Amino acid sequence: MTHLLVTGGAGFIGANFVHYWLGRHDADRVVVLDALTYAGNRANLASVEGDARFRFVHGDICDQSLVAELLHEERIDWVVHFAAESHVDRSITGPDEFIRTNVLGTHALLKAARSVWSLEGRWREGVRFHHVSTDEVYGSLTASCPPFTETTPYAPNSPYSASKAGSDHLVRAYHHTYGLPVTTSNCSNNYGPYQFPEKLIPLMLVHALEGKSLPVYGRGENVRDWLYVEDHCRAIEVILRDGQVGATYNVGGCNEWRNIDIVRLLCSILERRFAADARLSARFPRCPAAAGRPIATLIEFVADRLGHDWRYAIDARKVESELGFKPLERFETGIEKTVDWYLDNEPWWRDVLSGAYRTDPPSGL
């Protein structure tokens, strides 16, 4: 039986990880610590709220005493650290919270882990601190550059990526200085269920369904590597189980797309859904597809983001060769599943956008 503390477990990737883990590890216990900022939502965990193996704690990772208390009280074996401010645009307009959460919060977690897990000069057997990071710490690639590897020098270009780079360095330092058993994963762009509708894919889906403009930075030619969120959860599971202590693993989808092509693909998928199901036109009358018009007419090119990185791409050969991990979900199937999830879960995204159920345990959902 393994006891996990999942920070940020009410957010997008964290909630998917909680569902994934409890669905596959019957004997394990999962404790979620989440501050429930705008992107964290108790509704994301509604289906596990009554599970005896699950506990939710509303709290801040910067509260070192709370974290230490949970590590001790719950006999936590593994910390899986998702909690982070992660939206680049928000980091540009308000970088302070990114430094606080991503750098100071990670440091508070590391200090708490060291204080509880260090026993008279040795570490409690079987403990692990897994830090979830991003490919953005490596900076930007040109069209001809090879993908990022684990040895690519850090060159963060936004307050968000700089704060994540700082947290990565702290995790590494706590391993090399104190011997804290750690692993780190740097992942590419995730997509799938429960993603807050400010990121590209859910934002475009929600705007299209409501007949709002689809804002695309510049000419939409920036390139990202896309990874289905459940594959990311699988990768973390493999790293926790078999990863080398102190190691970093890049996790990607080997699936590069220009932003504008992603937006056009989403428009095309939605148009097919509307053509196949007349009920969608009644549910979403503002969507151009409800009147038989192309959804792509909503695309609006807007002023580019400050310091916008051109391209991200992950070289994931290390995690494949050492741990045997490869994504299972093809992008062609994963993006269809994602569109269907947002169509089937309209109450969820309307509620999260309004703030409903954000802090209180959901009932009747």
Average pLDDT, the chain: 95
106: which 2 tokens?
A: 């990670």
Q: Which band of pLDDT confidence, cut at 50, 70 and 90, is reported for residue 357?
A: low
Q: Rounded distance, CA 205 to CA 41, Å? A: 20
Does residue 160 have an active-site annotation? yes
Nearest to 185 by CA among 144, 132, 143, 115: 132
Residue among 135, 225, 231, 309 flagged as catalytic: 135
Residue 225, φ and ψ in degrees, nearest 5: -100, 130
Question: HEC profile for 11-58?
Answer: CHHHHHHHHHHHHHCCCCEEEEEECCCCCCCHHHHHHHCCCCCEEEEE
DSSP 101: I
- The number of residues making up the chain comes to 365
pTM: 0.95
Domains, the chain: 3-195+225-254+311-329 (3.40.50.720)
Query: Rounded mean pLDDT of 205-219?
Result: 97
User: By the 8 A CB rule, do 167 and 106 touch?
Assistant: yes
Query: Among 136, 225, 271, 315, which one carries the catalytic annotation?
Result: 136
Q: Of residues 160, 191, 194, 228, which has the active-site annotation?
A: 160
**154 an active-site residue?**
no
User: Which residue from 180, 166, 80 is spatially nearest to 130, judged by alpha carbons?
Assistant: 80
Nearest-10 Cα torsion for 166, 172, 177, 180: 120
pLDDT of residue 121: 81
- Residue 330: alpha-carbon gap to chain centroid: 18
Active site residue 221: no
Handedness of CA 226, 318, 110, 54 (dihedral sign): positive
Residues forming a β-bridge with 360: none
Q: Is 117 exposed, middle or buried (0-12, 13-18, 19+ CB in 10 A)?
A: buried
pLDDT digits (tens, 9 = 90+) for 94-109: 999 999 999 999 999 9
Q: CA angle 326-262-140, nearest 5°?
A: 70
For 131-182, what is each residue's pLDDT tens digit?
A: 999 999 999 999 999 999 999 999 999 999 999 999 999 999 999 999 999 9
